[in-house]
Structure 1
Amino acid sequence: MDAFDLDVRRHVYFSVVANGRPPSTTETSEDFGLPEPEIADAYRRLHDAHALVLFPDTTDVWMANPFCFGPAPHRVMARGREWTGTCAWDALGIPAAFHGDGRIESECACCGDPVALEVSDGELVRGAALLVHILLPARRWWEDIGFT
């Protein structure tokens, strides 16, 4: 990634924190004062570098890890807003990203039972005895990051 792509990525994350959602390429092009195709190319390069995840065949941001902007079973309350994590690991990453407290509500992938976790002062204070099972080794996550 070059400096421009890093600036675009930073802009996406700042927008997520400020607005609860990623900016469209149109919004980013307006903010940068650049043509939208140039911003769309940057989004695609960030996707190819695994720095953002785009919805298939679009330039719409699906994930700016640990944040997810599509349907996902992991709901996170942090910083006064509800967020979504793609997986349990990302859900735990949302309070960490804010260096704050958070509550995670999800369900067991095996049996469907409700699961609740709570983070306070950087510590998992509720649900610490639970295990997270990740089906694929990390080296294979990007084969289908939406599944992982």
Structure 2
Amino acid sequence: MRDDASWDEDVRLAVFRAFAAHGRAPSAPELADAAGGSLAVAKQALHRLADAHHLVLDECEHVVLAHPFAAKSLGFSVMGSHTLWWGGCAWDSFAIPHLVDGEPEVLVATRCPGCGQPHALVVNRTEPPEGTQVAHFLVAAARMWDDVLHTCGNQRLFCCESCVDAWLAETGQAKGSVLDLVTLWRLARGWYEGRLERGYRRREPGSAAAYFAETGLTGPFWAAAAGV
């Protein structure tokens, strides 16, 4: 008899592979197929996966986030040669070409929250995109899962740091961490490695902090907690 962990992994793979291939969450029949024909078993697995921070469910038990993929707009569209995705945030949008084998280059489109300027960047696996834009991360690493939709909605691309400062002044929020495009690309490059494969394991705090440090992100903001 199969245990919960075995069903969880089958359902997890069904979710992530549907997003990767089609830019959407799996349908109810697809979820049921992954759980031996039982939608009830699939939904139980989804809740366990959400509790373990593999994905995010809404109040109707629909998958809304399966990093780096999103089921709704959080400020980024990511267009490949064959698939169009919603990117969960700046970090996730830059990660998609590194994760999806058949899409080595994508067009990431967004608007600056500070001034509304549209931005479109070609992101690939080979080298960081050129540009003077910056990413601003509002929520520190240790608190990212407190309200992950809020966190992702506030990992955005701005024209420059002055646009970040203007947006913070307008919204009354404290400054977080500002990354140039090279650092953002390095952060995204290997963070989700193996997520589409069986047996994927999330990083523990120590390995997460070490990964951040390798990309040049250190200090209290990037001190990782369990579940990052």
> The TM-score by the shorter chain falls in which range?
0.7 to 0.9
Q: Determine if the alignment matches structure 1 residue 50 to structure 2 residue 46.
A: no
Q: Which has the larger radius of gyration?
A: 2
RMSD: 1.8
Richer in strand (by share): 1
Instruction: Please state how far the C-alpha of 1:79 moved relative to its aligned partner.
Output: 3.8
Q: Determine if the alignment matches structure 1 residue 103 to structure 2 residue 107.
A: yes
Give the letter aligned to residue 86 of structure 1: G
Per-residue CA distance 1:18-62 (angstroms, 9 max, x = gap): 33211134431134333221110100111111101112x122110
Give the letter aligned to residue 119 of structure 1: V
**Match of residue 9 from structure 1:** 12
Unaligned runs of 5+ in 2: 152-228
2:124 to 98, 112, 120: 120
Structure with larger RCO (C-alpha < 8 A, sep 6+): 2
Per-residue CA distance 1:60-107 (angstroms, 9 max, x = gap): 110111011112211111242221112111111111212511111101
Superposed, 1:73-92 pairs within 5 Å as 73-92=75-94
Give the letter aligned to residue 114 of structure 1: P
Richer in helix (by share): 2
**Identity of matched residues, %:** 35
Unaligned runs of 5+ in 1: none
With over 3 angstroms needed to count, the CA separation of the structure-2 counterparts of 1:102 and 1:18, relative to structure 1, is closer
Count residues with an aligned counterpart.
146
**SS of equivalent residue, structure 1 residue 125:** coil
TM-score (norm 2): 0.59
The runs of 4+ residues in structure 1 deviating greater than 6 Å are none
Whether contact under 8 Å (1:66, 1:85) holds in the other structure is yes
Whether contact under 8 Å (1:108, 1:114) holds in the other structure is yes
